Every structure is written in structure tokens, then in C-alpha cells.
Amino acid sequence: MRVREVIPISDLRKRQAEVLAALKKGPAILTQHGKGAAVLLSLDAYNRLLEELEDLQDALDAFEARRAPGERVSLDAYLTATRARDMDTKERVHLRRRGK
């Protein structure tokens, strides 16, 4: 994923439609006072990036599980347990936000 454009934040308001269209070709860097301030990605690129990170985390989890001493479990069992733990954590966070 290569950066296609560097855009001053002050130009973003003026060229909003043009910038959003350009994001289909790749990310853009927003600058403020001549220095990089943020990166803009299309929603599709962002979702692909998240999926890739999740795949890499799963691979790392599997690698660490194979290296860990002790009882061996299948990859499916390990990932199921890991995801269940993650979902349990997300549920607790959700309940805390709701004040329960």
C-alpha cells in the first residue's frame, strides 16, 4: 500500500470529493504546518488492513502455542478458546459501558 498523495489539512475542505476519490488508489498523508499529521485510508483498505492484522495475530498465536511447554492442543481448539476469551472480554467491556 503506497501513499499516493500528501495533502495539507487546509486543502481537505476545498477538495473533499477529489481526495475521497483519490483514496480508491491508495492512502493519503494529511499534513499540518508542513508535518505529517494523519493518514487517510478508504474504508475498504482499512478493513483489508484489519483482516490482515487479524490473520497475522492468529498465525502468531498458533506459533506461540506450538512453542509453549505443556499440553498440546489443536490449532482449532486454541483459536476457539482464544476467540471465546476475546469475546468474553468484549462482552465485559460492553456491560461496563452500559453501567451493569
Task: Give me the helix-helix angle, 75-97 and 43-67, nearest 10°.
Answer: 120
- Looking at residue 90, what is its pLDDT? 55
What is the phi/psi pair of residue 2, to 5°?
-100, 145
- Homologous superfamily (CATH) for 5-41: YefM-like domain (3.40.1620.10)
pLDDT digits (tens, 9 = 90+) for 17-35: 999 998 988 999 999 999 9
Task: Please state, rounded to an integer, the average pLDDT across all residues of the chain.
Answer: 82
Give the cell for residue 10: 487546509
Sheet strand arrangement including 28-32: 5-8, 28-32, 35-40
Q: Residue 98: which pLDDT band, with cuts at 50, 70 and 90?
A: low
> Taking 70 as the threshold, does the pLDDT of residue 60 lie above it?
yes
Beta-carbon count within 10 A of 11 CB: 13
In this structure, the chain runs to a length of: 100
Domain ranges of the chain: 5-41, 51-97
